[in-house]
A and B are shown apart, each in its own frame.
Chain A
Amino acid sequence: MLAQLSRTLGNQPRDLSSLCLAVAQHAPSPMAMMEGAAHIIRYVNPAFCSLIDRPAEELIGKSLCEMLPEKDKCVKLLDRVFRTGMPTGHTEQEHSKRHPVFWSYTMWPVIEDERSVGIMIQVTETTQFREKTLAMNEALILGSVRQHELAEAADSSNVLLQMEISERKQVEEALRSAQTQLSDRAGQLEGLVAERTAELTATNKQLEAFVYSIAHDLRAPLRSMQGFSAMLVEEEGAALSERGRDFANRINRSAIFMDALLQALLTFSRISQQQIQLTSVNLKTVVQSALSHLEKEIQEKAGRVEITGLWPTVLAHEPTLGQVLMNLLSNALKFVRSDTPPQIRLRAEENGQFVRVWVEDNGVGIAPEHQEQIFRLFMRLHGEKFAGTGIGLAIVQKGVERMGGQVGVEATPGQGSRFWFELRKVEGGKEMSDNVSNSRSGNESNKRYSYD
Chain B
Amino acid sequence: MYQIHDPEMNPTSDIPTTENQPLLLVDDSENDVELMRMAFHRANFNSPLYALRNGEEAIAYLTGEGIYSDRDKFPHPAVMLLDLNMPMKNGFEVLAWLRAQPEYKRLLVIVLTASMRSDDVERAFELKADAFFVKPSDLDELTAMLRCLRDWLHYNHFPPLK
| A residues adjacent to B (C-beta < 8 A) | 212, 216, 219-224, 226-228, 230-231, 255-256, 259, 266
Contacts and interface: CB of A to CB of B under 8 A. Distances in A.
B139 A220 contact: no
B117 A212 contact: yes
B28 to A, nearest CB: 10
A220 B138 contact: no
B38 A219 contact: no
B115 A216 contact: yes
B38 A256 contact: no
A223 B31 contact: yes
Contacts of A226: 137-139
B139 A256 contact: no
B35 A223 contact: yes
Nearest to B142: A227
A223 B32 contact: yes
A436 B108 CA distance: 39
Contacts of B35: 223-224, 227-228
A318 to B, nearest CB: 14
Interface size class of B (residues with CB under 8 A): 10 to 19
B114 interface: yes
Which 7 pairs of residues, A with B, have the shortest CB-CB distance?
A224-B31, A227-B35, A227-B139, A259-B137, A230-B139, A223-B137, A231-B38
Given A219-B137, A223-B31, 7 more contacts: A212-B117, A216-B114, A219-B114, A226-B139, A227-B38, A228-B31, A266-B116
Contacts of B135: 223
Given A223-B32, A228-B35, A256 B114 contact: no
B38 to A, nearest CB: 6
Nearest to A255: B137
B32 A220 contact: yes
A276 B53 CA distance: 38
Contacts of A255: 137
Contacts of A223: 31-32, 35, 114, 135, 137
Interface in B3-49: 29, 31-32, 34-35, 38
